[in-house]
Chain A
């Protein structure tokens, strides 16, 4: 056997970690954006086509962020959108989990509700938003309703599959030791379905953030979606990008928070990922 001399890696280990690579990728992307903008700004086309009314550089976005923050405008919009998100998402949890559960344990209920769930789930929320505005006017309530419609189905459907795929043998274990139906519910069904329900919540977060923006585009007096729309109509790209970035950051943060909640509630689950969890993502 010939021994092959290993080449020393070019970069030290801490620079080659997955997080480091991810961070570098983002930084490089932003740098290209900034440099591209600067380069463009020095050409003839920039003035001729008024490009500063369409694009903003990362640095400008940061500056605009500062201005909007100091004036209090940004916080007002954030507050408005955040309330819509919280109301809509909470309602989606309160409605989605019990209905998903009932559909999973009760055949008749499933037969009655299934066509409705399928229909409304297939309906794009975007198409429903305008009529909801017509019915309920502008404000936090109708917007929260749009968020609710966007978020409730991933939660409902994942709760349904979660409960459906509770392992029969684990139920039998609790029954064999004399567990009552109520004990079977709390000691097996809930914990075994928890990972799937959290997957549903994670999918729902993304859809809820989209719904917040969509609802505010159609009609609103405040909110990040409204802010994006308002400034794009006035050809001011800075605040537009600020709004988008804040929405993105919020979406990512809530997604990560749920990931943490998942590993905290069901640490055993990561080891069981082989088990199929149906991810219900349509659109």
Chain B
């Protein structure tokens, strides 16, 4: 019943890597299950190296998982495709392509007619606030502008779900705040379902309806924190008591996990 109403369902997902030094396999995460409603904004946070990015890539079908199931609109995810839009970390634009040619990439790969693709791209470039920069190359843009292109490139394929992998991690604090606010505006406009990976707790809370907190490796879901701050949220929300309490709560969990994993590493002689 719950599965019907959900956009994206993750059931009992498990992933392990084979260690290069020894033959034993390393558990990245196990028993990950949650369901995402249509148009919901979900963030994933957790201690560094807990496998958030791996998890997101598995959701996209870029890398295989060992066990469990991913259902997007009730269909099993096997491989990447235009039903999922992926926003990568910094410098993932093709440097030999202009803004325009980068944005139409997804349509081009599907074999959409070039002039139709360009027309559509103009709309999306304008949506992310880059009208007039169509013929610039990525190296001519600032980090923030590059990530806008990155976003437009993911939105243009009209995906069912938007997967974002620390898209603002490399931006300076000011630009990041502006991009967060703009992302919310765009989300409001497009009503996409978003899975957003970040290591920034306040970013996660500011953007999301729910924040999924991962434990240290092998990762499990420690808690799913509901963010009941009404929308639209202005940037000043970040100073409200409600917001700060939530941030403290998430931070406590993560700190606990970090300490736990440090203790384990000390035992294993890593540290």
Query: Which one of A69-77, A172-180, A240-248 is at the B interface?
Result: A172-180
Q: Do B110 and A178 touch (CB < 8 A)?
A: yes
A178 engages B139 (CB within 8 Å): no
A174 x B92 contact (CB < 8 A)? no
At the interface, yes or no: A251 with Cβ under 8 Å from chain B?
no
Looking at the assembled complex, report how far the CB atom of B102 sits from the nearest CB atom of chain A, in whole angstroms.
Answer: 9
Q: Are A179 and B109 in contact (CB under 8 A)?
A: yes
Interface residues of A in 251-271 (CB under 8 A from B): 266-269, 271
Q: Does A63 contact B (CB under 8 A)?
A: no
Q: Is the interface of B mostly helix, strand, loop or mixed?
A: loop
Among B86, B91, B95, B138, point to the contact of A176 (Cβ < 8 A).
B86
Q: Are B96 and A176 in contact (CB under 8 A)?
A: no
Asked if residues B95 and A173 are in contact (CB atoms below 8 Å), the reply is no
Which chain A residues numbered 187 to 215 have a C-beta less than 8 Å away from chain B?
187-188, 191-192
Cβ 8 A contact of A188, one of B88, B91, B94, B106: B94
Determine the main DSSP class of A at the interface with B. Answer: helix
For residue A272, CB closer than 8 A to chain B, the reply is: yes
Report the number of A-B residue pairs with Cβ-Cβ less than 8 Å.
61
Question: CA A159 – CA B264 in complex, angstroms?
Answer: 45
CB neighbours (8 Å) of B139 from chain A are 268, 271-272
Q: Check A170 for interface membership: any CB of B closer than 8 A.
A: yes
B157 interface residue per 8 A CB criterion:
yes
* B80 at the binding interface (Cβ < 8 Å): yes
Does B88 contact A177, Cβ atoms closer than 8 Å? no
The 6 closest A-B pairs by CB, nearest first: A176-B86, A177-B106, A271-B139, A268-B95, A178-B81, A191-B96
A-B contact pairs, 22 of them (CB 8 A): A169-B88, A172-B57, A172-B92, A173-B88, A174-B105, A174-B109, A176-B84, A176-B88, A177-B153, A177-B157, A178-B79, A178-B80, A178-B82, A183-B109, A187-B109, A188-B94, A191-B94, A266-B96, A268-B96, A268-B138, A271-B95, A272-B139
**Which B residues lie at the A interface, using CB under 8 A?**
57, 60, 62, 79-82, 84, 86, 88-89, 91-92, 94-96, 105-106, 109-110, 137-139, 153, 157
